[in-house]
Amino acid sequence: MDLELNETQRLIQRTARDFATRVILPQAHDLDETERFPREIMKGLAELGLLSINVSEGLGGSSAGVVAYSLAMQEIAAACASCSVMMSVTNMVGEAIERFGNEEQRARYVPRLASGELVVGSFALSEPDAGSDPAGMRTTATPDGDGWVLDGAKQWITGASYAGVIIVWARTGSLETHPGTRGISCFLVDAGSPGLKIGKPEDKLGIRASDTVPLELERCRVGGGQLLGGMHGGFKIAMMALDGGRIGIASQAIGIARAAIEESVRFAKERKSFGVPIAQHQAIQWKLADMQTELDAANLLCMRAAWNKELGRPYSREAAMAKLFASEAAIRICNEAVQIHGGYGYIREFAAERHLRDARVTTIYEGTSEIQRLVIARSVLA
Ligand code: CAA
C-alpha cells in the first residue's frame, strides 16, 4: 500500500478542500441551525464530479478511485457532515446502478446522478422493524402486468425528499419459499412515482441539514424495467453497496474528527488559563496527542479498505474495521474537543458541539458498531 497520494488523488483532495472551505464552511452553522437542504451545495459537488467519484467517465463520473473518494469525503465532512452524508449515499447509488444495472438503467440514471440533474440518490433498505436485520423486511413487490406493485414502509431514508431516484428493496419471494435473505429484490423508483409518499423529516440530534425521512409505498407501481440486478438478488446488492458505503462513513467520521481537532488546537492556542495559553498545559497536550493518534489510526484503516477496494481485492472486513474504529474514535475525539473548549464547547456559537452531535450518528447508520463487530468476528472465525 502506497501512502503517497498520486496526482489524481491530490487534485481531488485539493478540489474538495477548496470547495469545502470557500463555499460550504461559511454556511455550515446556518445549515445546522435552519435544517435547510443544501441544494446549491449538492449542485456544486456534482459540478466538481464529487457525486460520482467511482463512476466511470463514460457515464459522466470522475473514475478517480476509492482512495480519492475517501479523501474527498473527509474534506466535505470536515466542513459539513450533512452535505457529506448525501454525497456518500449519492456516490453509493450511482456506483450500484453502474455495477448492477443493465445498459438502459445505467444510461438513464448514472449520468443524471453524476451531473446533479437528479439532485441526489437515495437508498431505501431499512424499515421500522428491520434495521440491523434487513432480511426481516416486510415491503413486498408483486408482479402486476408488465411491472411491479410495491407495498410497505421504509424508515431513516437519507435524501429521499429531494432524490430523483431511490433504490427500494422489497420481498419478491415469500418467507416460506425464499427464507431469510433469499427472496429480496431491488427496484429503481423515480421521484413522484404514483403511490410513493415521502413522510415528515425526522428532527435529529445531528446532521440536521441532511434529509432523513420515512417512506410509504401504497400500491406504488414501477415498470418491469425498474428491477435492478437479478430477481431475488437484492440482498447481496445491498451488502456489496454497504461495504463501499462503510468506507464513505468511515471517511465522514474522520473528516468530522479532524475538524474537531483543528478547532481544539486553534482554541487551545488562544484561550488562557493560569497565565498561559491552555495549549501549554500538559493536560491539554495529552488530550490532543491521543486525539491525533486515534485520527491517524482511523485514517490508516480507512485507507487500507479503500486501497483494497480500488485494487479489486476483498474488503468487507477492512471496511467494517475502518467504519467501526473511525466512528467510535470520532465520538471520543469530538467529546474531548468539547472538553478542551470548556463552557465554550457546550454552546452553539462554537463548532465543537456540532461536531459531537454530527459524529454521533456514524456508529449507527450504514451498519451499527455492533453489526460491524459481527461482520469482523465472522471473518476472524471463518
Ligand atoms: N458481500 C457479498 N455478499 C454478502 C455480503 C457481502 N458483504 N454479506 C453477506 N453476503 C451474502 C452471503 O454470502 C449470503 O449469501 P448466500 O445466501 O449465497 O450464502 C447472503 O448474503 C446472506 O448473508 P448472511 O447469512 O451473512 O446474512 P445475515 O442475515 O446474517 O446478515 C448482516 C448479515 C451483516 C448482519 C447484514 O444483515 C447487515 O449488514 N446488516 C446491517 C444493515 C445495514 O448496514 N443497514 C444500513 C441501512 S442503509 C443506511 O444507513 C444508508 C443511509 O441512508 C445512510
pLDDT at 13 over 90: yes
pLDDT at position 1? 77
Pocket test for ligand 1, best of 239, 315, 321 (most atoms within 8 A of CB): 239
| Percentage of the residues of the chain whose pLDDT score is greater than 90 | 98
Q: Is 366 an annotated catalytic residue?
A: yes
85 CA closest ligand 1 atom index:
54
Beta bridge partners of 143: 148
Cα angle: 36, vertex 37, 42; to 5 degrees: 140
Main-chain dihedrals φ then ψ at residue 146, nearest 5 degrees: -95, 15
CB neighbours of 278 closer than 8 A, spacing ≥ 6? 267, 268, 271, 272, 284, 340
pLDDT tens-digit profile of 228-240? 999 999 999 999 9
pLDDT of residue 188: 98
Which atom of ligand 1 lies at the shortest distance from residue 158's CA?
A: 53
Residue 133 CA, ligand 1 centroid: distance in Å: 8
* pLDDT tens-digit series, residues 61-83: 999 999 999 999 999 999 999 99
How far is ligand 1, taken at its centre, from the CA of residue 375, in Å? 9
What pLDDT, on the 0 to 100 scale, is given for residue 3?
Answer: 87
199: pLDDT confidence band, cut at 50, 70 and 90?
very high
Is the full-model pTM beyond 0.85?
yes
Q: Name the packing angle between helices 66-79 and 7-19 (round to 10°).
A: 20
Of ligand 1's listed atoms, the one at least distance from the Cα of 181 is 22
Q: How far is the CA of 342 from the centre of ligand 1 (A)?
A: 42
Average pLDDT across the chain, whole number = 97
Distance CA 139, CA 53 (A): 31
Instruction: Catalytic residue, from 328, 336, 353, 366: name it.
Output: 366
As a whole number, mean pLDDT of residues 105-130 equals: 98
Q: Cα(251)–Cα(74) distance, rounded to whole angstroms? A: 5
In this model, does residue 310 exceed pLDDT 80? yes
- Ligand 1 binding pocket mutation candidate from 91, 157, 169, 236 (most atoms within 8 A of CB): 236
Query: From the alpha carbon of 375, which atom of ligand 1 is closest?
Result: 34
- Is a pLDDT exceeding 80 seen at residue 307? yes
Task: State mean pLDDT over 151-171.
Answer: 98
Quote the pLDDT of residue 271: 98
Rounded to 5°, angle at Cα 112 from 168 and 19: 105
| pLDDT tens digits, 325-369 | 999 999 999 999 999 999 999 999 999 999 999 999 999 999 999
DSSP E strands: which ranges in the chain?
121-124, 140-144, 147-158, 165-171, 184-190, 196-198, 212-223, 227-228, 272-273, 276-277
> Residue 346 phi/psi, 5° resolution?
-100, 0
Provide the pLDDT confidence category of residue 175 given band limits of 50, 70 and 90. confident
What letter would DSSP give residue 172? -
Nearest CA, atom 24, ligand 1: 181
pLDDT tens profile 238-258: 999 999 999 999 999 999 999
Report whether 247 contacts 350 (CB < 8 A): no
Q: Which three cell numbers stand for residue 341?
A: 473548549
Q: Is the pLDDT of residue 275 over 80?
A: yes
